[in-house]
Amino acid sequence: MNEVRTERVGSALLITIDRPEARNAVNAAVATQLSAALDELEATPELRVGVLTGAGGSFSAGMDLKAALKGESPVVGDRGLGGLTEAELSKPLIAAVEGFALGGGFELALGCDLVVAAEDARFGLPEVKRGLIAAAGGVVRLPRRIPHHLAMEILLTGEPIDGRRAGTLGIANRVVPNGEAAAVALQLAEQIAQNAPLALAAVKAVVRSQDPWAAQRTESTRLMRTADVREGMTAFAERRAPQWTGR
């Protein structure tokens, strides 16, 4: 049974967690299939950006606790929850969030590079209410994304915020009417896909590096040797759109 669907939309891969009856909670099958979808994104040159969303008006309620009690793991190797939260993807990934993004669902969104949120989406890390912590990246990433005291309120109270609040805090790049998150995320994906794929990957490599200055020098030097840089400069001089080859 396919619990994660993929669809190619222009230069983007739309990845949909399809367990609406469980609010798209992540069990072993979802984790394995989501990891495979991310592999498809990485391995396909024609695909430049991924968009992750959920079916049935909900993004993801996080780890499937019932499945976990049966011994299922929502973690894939060293790639973290859903094969995403600790994965080092070279291509940009956008979360399109409708409805619930709770616990691991919020952490999946935090594992993406950009977030488009519906106005009434619900973001929360309620793990402390169950004696746990948000250990799939929540306690690591959230305090790096928003002011410390605001992150700590979300982490320590376990109370959710809506999409509007997420936009105000800077968790979401775009806040859109309910039902439009995926469409807007795909529009944003196409805007990103117009840029040089090697440059996009280089941006991600520098941002996640433990030594960003050294990584910046390395990536910039490498890019200057590529055909895409020459194409970008030539296209600018000739006043035309560049034709990227990823070389």
Q: Looking at 3, 46, 86, 107, which residue is catalytic?
A: 107
Judged by DSSP in three states, 95 sits in: strand
Model confidence, pTM: 0.95
pLDDT of residue 201: 96
Residue numbers of the chain with a pLDDT score lower than 70: none
The C-alpha atoms of residue 39 and residue 31 are separated, in whole angstroms, by: 12
pLDDT at 1 (0 to 100): 72
pLDDT of residue 146: 97
Query: What is the C-alpha separation between 175 and 246, in angstroms, rounded?
Result: 32
* Predicted local distance difference test score (pLDDT) of residue 65: 87
pLDDT of residue 194: 96
User: 237 and 216 in contact (C-beta within 8 Å)?
Assistant: no
State which CATH number among 3.30.70.270, 3.40.50.970, 3.20.20.70, 3.90.226.10 fits the domain covering 4-193. 3.90.226.10
Half-sphere exposure in the Cβ direction for 242 (13 Å, CA): 19
Is 107 a known active-site residue?
yes
Spatial contact of 49 and 86, defined as CB atoms under 8 Å apart: no
Q: By C-alpha distance, which of 85, 113, 94 is closest to 182?
A: 94
The active-site residue, picked from 3, 98, 127, 219, is 127
Which amino acid is located at 202 in the chain? A
Alpha-carbon gap, residue 198 to 14, rounded angstroms:
21
pLDDT of residue 204: 97
Which spans in the chain are helix H?
28-43, 65-69, 104-110, 138-145, 148-157, 163-169, 181-193, 197-208, 212-224, 227-237
> Which of 65, 68, 74 has the alpha carbon at shortest distance from 4?
74
Phi and psi torsions of 88, nearest 5°: -105, 85
Q: What is the pLDDT of residue 36?
A: 97
